[in-house]
Structures are given as C-alpha cells and as structure tokens.
Amino acid sequence: MAPPSSNPGLRLADLAALTGARLDGDGDVVVTRVATLESAEPGAIAFLANPRYRGQLASTRASAVILRPEDAGATHLPRLIAANPYAVYAKAAAALHPADPAVPGVHPSATVAATARIAASASIGAGAVVGGAVTIGERASVGALCAIGAGTSLGDDVLLHAGVTLYPRTVIGARTIVHSGAVVGADGFGMAEEGGRWIKIAQVGRVVVGADVEIGANTTIDRGAMATRSLRRA
C-alpha cells in the first residue's frame, strides 16, 4: 500500500491532461495518491491493467480508476481511459508522488577539487568527494558519500543516490539515476600469463552511460580494456 501523499492532490481533469488519458466522469474529483484496487481508500486513484482483477472494480474504495476502453463500462467511478492503463498509472504516480527536490549547493563536509565545474543548481551531499576536472550539470544531485573520479561528467538532472562510486572519465547522461552502492568504471579482470606469472592488463577504456538510464543498487559496470563501454536505454 502506498503511503499517504503530503501533496494537496490533483483534479482528475488535470491528471487526464498530464497523462494524455481520456476523462470520463467528474473531472473535479481530487486524488492525492495511487493505490491498488484492493487497498485503495477514498482520495486514491487505482488502475486495472490485468483482466483477472476486473472483479475488484465493484468493491474498490478508490475515488477514481484508470482502465482500458473495453473495461470502462464495468464501473461508475470517475475514470481515466487509455489503451495502456499501466503507462498512465506510471505518469500519475510520478505526478502525485514526486521526489523531494534536492537543495542546490555543496555540503560543507564535501570535498570538491578546485578544477571541478558544478552548475549552481546542482546539489552535492555530505561527505561526497568530487575529483578534478569533473563536470556536473544543471539540477544534478550527488548523494552523501559519493565518490566521483577525475574527468567524470554528469549530465543535467542526473541523480546519484548515496554511496555511488564513479571511476575517472566516466560519463553519465542526462536524467540518469544511479542507485546506492553502484560502482561504474572500475577495472575489468584483464590478465596476461607469462612464465607462470599473471601480468595485469591496464584497462584504458571508460564507461559512457546514455540519457534516461537507471542503474540498480550495488551494480558494477567495469570499463573497457581499450574501447569505451557504452550503456544506453533500450
């Protein structure tokens, strides 16, 4: 069950305009949060994407629902109608449960190299370390205890959660989200054998992450041995 939203909510008509769905019913109904059909309370908007849950429309306590055109006649509740109700739900959830905005500025406990270029609207968290010649774009947010290696570039609206490590020369594209504990750009495991000894091969490539990518918690992405390793949204 989603926690109650602290925002004042949105009129269903406004939510329809934001999501591109068709409104059927009272557009002045105000919803403040999303929920499942089963757990919804008044003030919530629920959705029906899987036909197996169609029977829950009759008992849901939601104030409004999101559903397909073929299911619209199964309820008298105000509704948003779309061919892809799950996508409309995703947009509604983002509008009703926005992330807390980061406060621009550099925390006093952060360590930032003199040659780093940080946009005035960016946020650098407590204990973060930002290396030389790093570029951080507008509204980017670097969480507490992140380590950003020299020559790294973060695009606009990038979000690094706490404890992310970016090795030198890594590139993170605009609006990309990197979750806690991820390590991007570390050495691969290149080794050459000679006379029973292993010689470490220098990993001289880098990692370039495109725009609108999301990297999960504790993910590791090694840099290429010689070429750039690129990750882009599918």
CATH number, domain with residue 169: 2.160.10.10
Residues 145 and 171 in one domain: yes
Q: Report the number of distinct structural domains present in the chain.
A: 2
Span 146-150, mean pLDDT? 98
Residues 92 and 115 in one domain: no
With 70 as the cut, is the pLDDT of residue 173 above it?
Answer: yes
Q: Give this prediction's pTM.
A: 0.81
| Residue 13, token pair as written in the block | 């008509």
The predicted structure's pLDDT at residue 64: 97
Residues 118 and 227 in one domain: yes
Mean pLDDT value across the chain: 92
- Could you report the per-residue pLDDT of 50-104, keeping only the tens digit for each? 888 889 999 999 999 999 999 999 999 999 999 999 999 999 999 999 888 889 9
Q: Tell me which residue of 131, 130, 98 sits closest to 9, measured CA to CA.
A: 98
Domain end call among 37, 72, 96: 96
The predicted structure's pLDDT at residue 229: 59
- Could you report the per-residue pLDDT of 17-37, keeping only the tens digit for each? 999 999 999 999 999 999 999
Q: Which domain holds residue 67?
A: 10-96
2 belongs to a structural domain: no
The predicted structure's pLDDT at residue 7: 67
Helix (H), strand (E) counts: the chain: 2, 27
30 belongs to a structural domain: yes
Contact 107, 141 (CB under 8 A): no
Q: What distance in Å separates the CA atoms of residue 56 and residue 71, rounded to the nearest whole number? A: 12
3 belongs to a structural domain: no
The predicted structure's pLDDT at residue 227: 60
Residues 114 and 174 in one domain: yes
Contact 32, 69 (CB under 8 A): no
Which percentage of the chain shows pLDDT scores above 70?
A: 93
Contact 63, 29 (CB under 8 A): yes
Give the burial string for 133-158 (b: 16+ CB within 10 Å, else e): ebebbebbbbbbbbbbbebbbbbbbb
Residues 82 and 109 in one domain: no
CA distance to 71, 99, 110, per residue, from 107 (Å): 51, 20, 5
Q: CATH no. for residue 42? A: 3.40.1390.10
Span 113-138, mean pLDDT? 98
Residues 89 and 159 in one domain: no
Residues 120 and 220 in one domain: yes
With 80 as the cut, is the pLDDT of residue 3 above it?
Answer: no
Q: What distance in Å separates the CA atoms of residue 128 and residue 105, rounded to the nearest whole number? A: 12
Give the pLDDT band of residue 2 (cuts 50, 70, 90): very low
With 70 as the cut, is the pLDDT of residue 228 above it?
Answer: no
Q: What distance in Å separates the CA atoms of residue 128 and residue 148, rounded to the nearest whole number? A: 8
Contact 137, 122 (CB under 8 A): yes
90 belongs to a structural domain: yes
1 belongs to a structural domain: no
Residues 90 and 178 in one domain: no
175 belongs to a structural domain: yes
Q: Tell me which residue of 171, 234, 177, 181 sits closest to 206, measured CA to CA.
A: 171
